[in-house]
Amino acid sequence: MENKLKIFVDRLKNRDEKIKEEISFQDLDIKMEEELQFVKPILIDGKAYISNEDLIINLNIEFSISMPCSICNKFVEKEVLIKNLYIIEMLKDIPAIYEYKREIKNACFLEIPSFVECLGNCQARQNMKNYFKKETDKNFPFSNIEE
């Protein structure tokens, strides 16, 4: 991963730099956990440019994770898409090379859902209905008011 996730600021004078990377979770120093697994490479697509005195990086990130279903504990694959992630850094704070690996890692972890269910509605949920709160009749006191 020599030049992956690095921006050479001096190359950006008066032009954009296209970013198209395919990296593994190991490239982001992510350790595989028992209940959270990255199952496909992380795809990064975007561009970097300079505006006034700032480096601006605009990215779309796509990756897939596998987590246990919150109902039946079978592993479920979930695709995560991060659209229009902006990373802005002042040029005076960047020596010559800006590495944005940490920002990518943080964005990925922030977008991972807390829990997943099989196909969005686990069939084992029917077995747990007895433990859920019974739905009662709702009263809408102002529903019959006419204008």
pTM value? 0.76
Model confidence over 88-104: pLDDT tens digits? 999 898 888 999 999 99
What is the Cα gyration radius of the chain?
22
DSSP-assigned beta bridge partners for residue 25: none
Q: CA 88, CA 114: separation in Å to the nearest integer?
A: 27
DSSP-assigned beta bridge partners for residue 118: none
Model confidence over 6-36: pLDDT tens digits? 888 888 887 889 999 999 888 888 887 888 8
Q: Where are the domains of the chain?
A: 6-131
Q: How many residues belong to the chain? A: 147
Portion of the chain with pLDDT greater than 90, in percent: 39
Statement: residue 108 has pLDDT above 50: yes
What is the predicted pLDDT for the residue at 42? 93
What is the predicted pLDDT for the residue at 147? 65
